[in-house]
Amino acid sequence: MSISSNMRILAAALAISFGLYGQSVKAATVAVGPTTCQPTRTHYATIQAAVSAVPYGSTVLVCPGTYPELVAITQPLTLKGVTDGTGNAAVIAVPLTGLTLNANAPVAFGGPVSAQLVVQNTVGVEVSGIVIDGTGSGCVPGAIRQAGIVVFGVGASNDGTSAAKIDNVTVRNEHSCGVGEGIIADSSYLAIINNQIHDIDFTGIIVAGGTAKINSNNVQTVGLNGISVNLTSNSVVTANTVGSAGQSGFLVQEFNTGTTVSNNTVLASPTAYGIGVFDYATNNTFTGNTISDCFWGIWLSFASNITVQSNTFSQLGSDGVLDQDSLGGNIVTKNTVNEAAFGIFTDSTVSGDTLSPNTFYNTVVTVDPAPAVMGGPQNF
């Protein structure tokens, strides 16, 4: 046999070998739960067993049922809750052994946290159609915070907001030793869209570091903030609804830059400010937001080059706009304040800000000479 023939045989053998190898690691679609759901799929008893077993890029379908476990995702995959015709949900519940110290949030909280679902050190992850229920989570020694979902170290700046997606997920009942959070995204580049988040000790969605698209989420009954964004650049927060927040609907602070907050709604939070912008936030834009039944409409403090335009503030306990300790360059114009104790407050430190024209209806006094001051904002 000639050398050329041997080479052709070797090349064919190698091609077959690589083809078989490619098939062996090809992304798969598997199921978790009873075999009557998704009966043609390979089945696993737990979500973590499936996540750990499948190749990169696979899809794990979670059938309706309750799964008392902690889940960690460290590779590209899709985790998706599915229906079996009953309309019931796939619920990740707290295991009988409780939560553990299993995640990190160095930018948001400076250290260790615990979570029911952790996505970390990867890209290409989508989580959808799942319920995260924190009922009965108890306390975790050493955890600064306990959360339904933690996303940490996912993606890089060139990913924009595409390294991960959390969509159509419910996070609820995160009353974890008084330090429960909904979704924490730390040093990640992701989209958080169309989620339901309610009954949370502190904050519904926290993004610290990285870049996020936060769109069309419904956040209700949170002890502190609806959505908090800090130390990020170029994040977009649009079309979200926040109700019954203890401190603020939206909090943007700590050197945050380039964020757009638009067309959001904050309702029925009479002790809170609708939007808080603090601590050297700069070059952020707030447009088209509707704030009703809060204490203040928007509070600017130690912020610069902030644009606040075409927002509607109504039924407020104090000021529509509170501009205090300005660092200059803020533009607060074309806003409407209807039914507030005061239309606008500025203190003696404010200079270089544009604060008119704005429209005021049914305000007791257009300019507040001495506003009520709550405690400083909490970044949780």
Question: Which residue ranges form the domains of the chain, and what is each CATH number?
Answer: 30-367 (2.160.20)
**Confidence at 85, pLDDT banded by 50, 70, 90:** confident
More confident residue, 86 or 219: 219
- The pLDDT, as a whole number, for residue 267 is 94
Strands (E) located in 108-259: 111-120, 125-128, 130-133, 145-152, 164-167, 170-174, 180-193, 196-200, 205-215, 218-222, 225-230, 236-238, 241-245, 248-253
Determine the 3-state secondary structure of 112 from DSSP.
strand
- The pLDDT, as a whole number, for residue 154 is 98
Burial of 19 (0-12, 13-18, 19+ CB in 10 A): exposed
Q: Is the pLDDT of residue 22 over 70?
A: no
Q: What's the CA gap between 42 and 27, in Å, rounded?
A: 13
- The pLDDT, as a whole number, for residue 371 is 60
Q: What's the CA gap between 366 and 308, in Å, rounded?
A: 18
More confident residue, 93 or 342: 93
- What is the radius of gyration, based on Cα positions, of the chain? 24
Which are the contacts of 328, defined by CB distance < 8 A and separation ≥ 6?
Answer: 304, 305, 351, 352, 353
DSSP string, 307-341: EEES-EEEEEEEEEEEEES--S--EEES-EEEEEE
- The pLDDT, as a whole number, for residue 268 is 84
Q: Is the pLDDT of residue 242 over 80?
A: yes
Q: Name the least confident of 24-28, 42-46, 107-111, 358-362.
A: 24-28
Instruction: Please name which of 59, 87, 79 lies closest in space to residue 132, comparing C-alpha atoms.
Output: 79
Mean pLDDT of the chain: 90
- The pLDDT, as a whole number, for residue 61 is 98
Q: Is the pLDDT of residue 351 over 70?
A: yes
Q: What's the CA gap between 337 and 321, in Å, rounded?
A: 8
Q: Is the pLDDT of residue 378 over 90?
A: no
Q: Which H helix or E strand runs over 48?
A: helix 47-53
At position 248, the amino acid (one-letter code) is S
- The pLDDT, as a whole number, for residue 364 is 72
Q: Is the pLDDT of residue 116 over 70?
A: yes
For 134-162, the pLDDT digits (tens) are 999 999 999 999 999 999 999 999 999 99
Q: Is the pLDDT of residue 263 over 60?
A: yes
Q: What percent of the chain has pLDDT over 90?
A: 80
Q: What's the CA gap between 323 and 304, in Å, rounded?
A: 11
